């Protein structure tokens, strides 16, 4: 099909390229900015606010040496926490149980007569080799500072239990014993758990109780810096027994589970020290903790807590989370399929493309996915082999970010090269609808089998189809500048805003090792924007593979050199 002549070349090509780069960079920035933790607050801010500066002072007394269950240092840390609780004007009780558990229990009574109770928990024991600044001295320090904030603030309506659990690392023994033995467990309506893995990153709310729509909505409303994606729930549930929260989920408690998990080199290692800990993760945990305690603490939980079923939710901006009921997933996917079918039918009727062309577009897209996956996987494992003496830095340190960026540019080079060779005879619309066909399948699959992840596949394509409908409905043989940018914006922005944090949180959790999969997810986006880039480059994409391959090589070299230094 040669009806691809486009009117946009009234404006110099370089201007279009510049605008496109700006749109993509801005969307990627919005995607990353969602994950930015708040800056630390110094120790001298108002006593009614959470200060990571103050929390760090407690942490300096907690994360001195490893304090595994049964050690002398463990007893010292236990005593330090109970002393601190007393200093803040509360009573600390030790809840002892078997095997070898000493939970620290603090109850802050509400001003009302309500039995409604909120439990906030964090474990204070460590594994044998780690001082545990991140895992989980940070959580214990967050609890202490939050307790102090409550003392300085107006009394809340509901009761709050601060539970510093023990024996988390030996098998969640502390939380299990508490669940088994606490006589008023029924009064606990909400559980907030804080944990740390690694030494940096951001406070991610990665698991909830069942039927989470109500609590996620409240979280989105109350927390100043909420970060949460419903796509994380399935992985969290699959890894059942991961941390203290799971026991509460099992007995059907509603709640929110928070973790930071970047800088994995420190995880369960002697490097889990205060020096290596990024103070911002404490401020992030803490600001959210205090806001949630005050929010739920003043709520008539008996009357206001509702079962609204499960939700699909995700950040679209920093501090802004979209939440909607799970039952929307399938209708949204059906709407998307319907719109796709309608546009294909209109396009076919008006000779804008052929079925054969769309199938060819789909094949071109699938080949890009598979090739990229294979090549990146090979390069990643070779990188590990070449730098086998620096594996820790590559996999568990921020160096990984540099290599990830290099792989991303290499992916652009691979995909644009494939489109150059295979896409030649396929029209822009056919390439686009070919990749859309794949997305439609994904959207349907996730909506039916894994609703928490469905948003990733449904929204970019639904909006992308709405964008391109301008061109198809008006049967534009030559795409007008306005239509071009409407369609491009509606395709590129949703993809990058949603997938940037999704890919990055996946990478943070799974390290560089799964780079093939992250780049597969990147190709999903390239496949739907490449046809537009095609238009701008008048179907001659040579510049793109050359420039991005060079960028990839330069970034890789920078990464390698800084690794060796
Ligand atoms: Zn932990």
pLDDT of residue 99: 87
How many angstroms is it from 390 CA to the middle of ligand 1?
Answer: 26
Which pLDDT tens digit goes with each residue over 338-376? 999 999 999 999 999 999 999 999 999 999 999 999 999
Residue 232 has pLDDT above 60, yes or no: yes
Residue 7 has pLDDT above 70, yes or no: no
The mean per-residue pLDDT over the stretch 194-207 comes to 96
The mean per-residue pLDDT over the stretch 162-183 comes to 96
Domain residue extents for the chain: 7-36+326-564, 52-211+228-308
How many angstroms is it from 220 CA to the middle of ligand 1?
Answer: 24
Which homologous superfamily is 52-211+228-308 in?
Zn peptidases (3.40.630.10)
Q: Which pair of tokens denotes residue 156?
A: 């809340």
How many angstroms is it from 137 CA to the middle of ligand 1?
Answer: 9
How many angstroms is it from 67 CA to the middle of ligand 1?
Answer: 13
pLDDT of residue 540: 73
Ion ligand 1 — residues with CB < 5 Å: 135-136, 195
Residue 116 has pLDDT above 70, yes or no: yes
pLDDT of residue 348: 95
- What's the mean per-residue pLDDT of the chain? 94
Which pLDDT tens digit goes with each residue over 481-535? 888 899 999 999 999 999 999 999 999 989 999 999 999 999 999 999 998 888 8
Yes or no: say if 200 and 262 are a contact pair by the CB < 8 Å rule. Answer: yes
Bridge partner residues of 324 (DSSP): 312
Q: How far apart are CA 380 and CA 375, in angstroms?
A: 9
| Secondary structure in 3-state letters for 270-330 | CCCCCCCCCHHHHHHHHHHHHHHHHHHHCCCHHHHCCCCCCEEEEEEECCEEEEEEHHHHH
How many angstroms is it from 245 CA to the middle of ligand 1?
Answer: 11
Which phi and psi angles does 284 have, rounded to 5°? -65, -55
Q: Burial letters for 389-409: b for 16+ Cβ neighbours within 10 Å, e otherwise?
A: ebeebbbbbebbebbbbbbbb
Indicate yes or no: pTM above 0.85: yes
How many angstroms is it from 123 CA to the middle of ligand 1?
Answer: 7
How many angstroms is it from 240 CA to the middle of ligand 1?
Answer: 14
| Secondary structure in 3-state letters for 235-256 | HHHHCCCCCCHHHHHHCCCEEE
Q: Which pair of tokens denotes residue 476?
A: 């534009």
pLDDT band for position 87 (50/70/90)? very high
Residue 542 has pLDDT above 90, yes or no: no
How many angstroms is it from 158 CA to the middle of ligand 1?
Answer: 27
Which pLDDT tens digit goes with each residue over 380-436? 999 999 998 888 888 888 889 999 999 999 999 999 999 988 888 898 899 999 999
User: Treating both helix axes as pointing N-terminal to C-terminal, what angle do 399-422 and 543-564 enclose, rounded to 10 degrees?
Assistant: 160
Which DSSP string do the residues of 48-81 spell out, in sequence order? TS--HHHHHHHHHHHSSS---TTSHHHHHHHHHH
How many angstroms is it from 239 CA to the middle of ligand 1?
Answer: 14
How many angstroms is it from 91 CA to the middle of ligand 1?
Answer: 25
pLDDT of residue 48: 96
Q: How far apart are CA 206 and CA 497, in angstroms?
A: 19
Closest CA to 92 of 161, 177, 21, 12: 161
How many angstroms is it from 216 CA to the middle of ligand 1?
Answer: 23
Report the greatest alpha carbon distance in the chain: 80
């Amino acid at each position: 099909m040669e009806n691809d002549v486009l009117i946009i070349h009234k404006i110099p090509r370089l201007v279009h390229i510049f605008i496109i780069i700006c749109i993509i960079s801005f969307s990627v920035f919005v995607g990353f900015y969602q994950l930015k933790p708040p800056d630390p607050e110094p120790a001298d801010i108002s006593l009614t606010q959470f200060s990571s500066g103050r929390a760090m002072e407690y942490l300096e007394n907690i994360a001195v040496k490893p304090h595994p269950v049964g050690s002398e240092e463990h007893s010292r840390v236990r005593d330090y926490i109970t002393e601190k609780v007393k200093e803040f004007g509360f009573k600390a009780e030790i809840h002892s149980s078997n095997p070898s558990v000493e939970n620290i229990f603090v109850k802050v009574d509400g001003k009302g007569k309500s039995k409604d109770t909120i439990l906030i928990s964090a474990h204070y024991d460590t594994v044998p080799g780690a001082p545990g600044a991140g895992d989980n001295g940070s959580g214990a320090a967050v609890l202490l500072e939050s307790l102090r904030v409550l003392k300085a603030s107006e009394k809340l309506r509901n009761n709050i239990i601060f539970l510093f659990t023990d024996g988390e690392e030996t098998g969640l023994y502390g939380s299990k014993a508490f669940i088994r033995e606490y006589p008023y467990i029924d009064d606990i309506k909400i559980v907030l758990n804080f944990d740390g893995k690694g030494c940096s990153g951001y406070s991610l709310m990665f698991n909830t109780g069942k039927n989470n729509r109500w609590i996620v909505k409240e979280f989105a409303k109350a927390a100043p810096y909420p970060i949460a994606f419903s796509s994380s729930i399935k992985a969290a549930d699959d890894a059942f027994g991961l941390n203290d929260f799971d026991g509460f989920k099992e007995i059907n408690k509603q709640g929110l589970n928070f973790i930071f998990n970047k800088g994995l080199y420190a995880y369960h290692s002697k490097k889990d020290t205060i020096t290596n800990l990024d103070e911002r993760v404490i401020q992030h945990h803490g600001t959210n903790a205090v806001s949630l305690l005050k929010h739920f603490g003043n709520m008539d939980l008996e009357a206001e807590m509702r079962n609204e079923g499960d939700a699909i939710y995700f950040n679209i901006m920093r501090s802004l989370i979209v939440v909607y009921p799970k039952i929307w997933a399938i209708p949204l996917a059906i709407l998307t399929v319907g719109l796709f079918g309608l546009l294909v039918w209109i396009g076919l009727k008006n000779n804008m493309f052929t079925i054969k062309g769309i199938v060819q577009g789909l094949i071109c897209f699938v080949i890009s996915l598979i090739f990229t996956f294979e090549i990146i996987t090979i390069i990643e494992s070779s990188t590990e082999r070449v730098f086998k003496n620096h594996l820790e830095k590559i996999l568990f340190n921020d160096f990984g970010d540099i290599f990830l960026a290099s792989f991303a540019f290499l992916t652009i080079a691979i995909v644009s090269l494939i489109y150059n060779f295979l896409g030649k005879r396929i029209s822009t619309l056919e390439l686009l609808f070919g990749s859309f066909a794949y997305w439609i399948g994904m959207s349907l699959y996730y909506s039916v089998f894994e609703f928490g992840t469905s948003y990733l596949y449904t929204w970019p394509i639904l909006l992308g189809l709405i964008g391109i409908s301008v061109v198809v409905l008006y049967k534009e043989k030559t795409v007008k500048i306005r239509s071009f940018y409407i369609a491009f914006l509606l395709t590129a922005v949703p993809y990058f805003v949603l997938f940037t944090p999704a890919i990055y949180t996946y990478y943070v959790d799974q390290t560089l090792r799964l780079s093939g999969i992250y780049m597969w997810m990147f190709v999903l986006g390239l496949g739907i924007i490449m046809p537009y880039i095609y238009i701008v480059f008048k179907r001659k994409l040579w510049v793109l593979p050359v420039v991005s391959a060079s960028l990839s090589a330069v970034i890789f070299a920078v990464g390698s050199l800084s690794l060796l230094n």
